[in-house]
Structure 1
Amino acid sequence: MTVLQQGLRTDVRTATLVALAAAAPFAVGRLAGGLLVGGGTALSEHVWCPFRAATGVPCPLCGATRSVVLASHGDMAFLSYNPVWVVVLIALAVLGALAALAGRSLPQPRPIVGRMLVGSVVAVAWTCALVHRQAITGI
């Protein structure tokens, strides 16, 4: 096996792992969602955030679990929590799957672009958590 073939295999393996890791929360949400959602509860008693406990303000990840569980069940109520993370996970799953199927590596943005992208996603997610604060915290 040549170095080029070995590098290609590593790229495909990495892309496949990204796709699977991004899809895993939906699978877990689908399987465990019945236990978490129970009789139609909003999961508010089952979620604890140390940041929210200390400050009273939702963190950028608050509502993500409920959003993913609801989305994995096809319940559009996921839009009432923190749907940003549902979109991010779907985008990563699709990007990883497409890269793996094409036999290519995942796009590697410049470090500054990557940091700006991550910072922007976190800012949008935090804004979304604050906008949906009442649904997330139940207050």
Structure 2
Amino acid sequence: MESPEIFAGGNYSDERGNVVFNNKFNASEVKRIYFIENINTELIRGWTGHKIEQRWFSVVQGSFIIKLIRIDNWQHPSKRSDVLRFEMNSENMDVLHVPGGYASAIQAVEKGSRLLVMANYSLGEINDDYRFPIDYFENL
């Protein structure tokens, strides 16, 4: 199974202004995009997982903490799972790739933060949405 990875972006400034870019991310698999804006910084959106579908996350405003858990048994996932934790911000156009097989929990760190989400399936193309209570996993 693939592991999540960050495609590092960058930025460039000169007398004309700023350019924020990501020359390492290949968007050819993306079929759908949307934004997530949490209502406040206390809310943790999750756990939502996908057995097959892949996701790519990029912070376009502010900053987020994204936690990931690999799930091997989707009908009865272990409540004791290792949590991968990623802190991302909008300074560079970093892209976090989340392969199928993971559930995510997303929390804005700054008010007004905005997260771009990309997926490799169109809405309704497959039935691959798994949701767990935010306190399901013991070691958040």
**TM-score, shorter chain, exceeding 0.5:** no
The structure with more helix, counted as a fraction of residues = 1
Query: Which protein has the bigger strand share?
Result: 2
* TM-score interval (norm. to shorter): under 0.3
Q: TM-score, normalised by structure 1?
A: 0.21
TM-score (norm 2): 0.21
Structure number, greater radius of gyration? 1
